[in-house]
Amino acid sequence: MFFCKDCDGFRVRGKRIAIYGWADEAVEYALGMLFYSPSVAIVTNGKKTRWSEKHAKWIEEYKIPVFRQRIAQLGREGCQVRELSFDDGTRTEIEALFATRGDIYFNKLAKNLGAEVDEDGQIIVDLCLRTTIKGVYAAGCVTPANCQMIIAAGQGATAAQTINRDLFEESLATHALRKYRAVQLDDLQETGSPKDRRTLAEATPSSEEGLLGIGIEAETHRFDQSG
């Protein structure tokens, strides 16, 4: 059983393929899989179809079989899918099954914080992964990005860099960095040599002007990495 036609389409070249779904995405998956196999069908498992009139015409134009019955049993050999049996007694042989039930976006926290989502429920972000609420960021499958782990990981890195940069700019705007610098200069004058910057961060007085402590910690990592 597969989820991504872009990742796994090449694995099922020339095989009998079933697309599980009942919305526009299922039709588009079926059409896309025609590049890999001439034997592609859609199975809805008895669900009422929700594809558009345009997608319905594509099904007719490209002669895609649609099984609208409920699936009663899945036949297999070992770990391999081999057959779908329906509740009306009919069967169809398959060698690969792709699921397209749609995405579920876990956006409750973001929405409670006031962040906007699109009509599908995806959290709206800019190119740097900022949401519509200052100080709230989002990455991965809750955003309009393609839902793949490698993309989510890259977005996470982008969001982290954005947070670091935003905190640094805030520390300049609120003059919080100046207080940190004062501690540095006092220490240099007293000891003649720099201390570990994490020790300095812990010694810096707390401030109500922005996220001073977090900003210092973020910049500490940047200083440490750059030497």
Tell me, rounded to whole angstroms, the distance of Cα 55 from its chain centroid: 26
Task: Please report the pLDDT score of residue 145 as a whole number.
Answer: 81
pLDDT for the residue 88: 94
According to DSSP, the β-strands at 71-77 and 80-86 are antiparallel
**Exposure string over 193-211, b if 16+ CB within 10 A, otherwise e:** eeeebeebbeebeebeebb
| Whole-number Å distance between alpha carbons of 157 and 161 | 6
pLDDT in tens, the chain (227 residues): 888 888 888 999 999 999 999 999 999 999 999 999 999 999 999 999 999 999 999 999 999 999 999 999 999 888 888 999 999 999 999 999 999 866 678 999 999 999 999 988 999 999 999 999 999 999 998 999 877 888 999 999 999 999 999 999 999 999 888 888 888 888 888 887 776 555 555 655 554 444 444 444 444 444 444 44
Considering the entire predicted model, what is its pTM? 0.64
Q: What domains, with CATH codes, occur in the chain?
A: 5-99 (3.50.50.60), 108-226 (no CATH)
Per-residue pLDDT, 76? 87
Q: Nearest to residue 19, comparing CAs of 60, 87, 71, 79?
A: 71
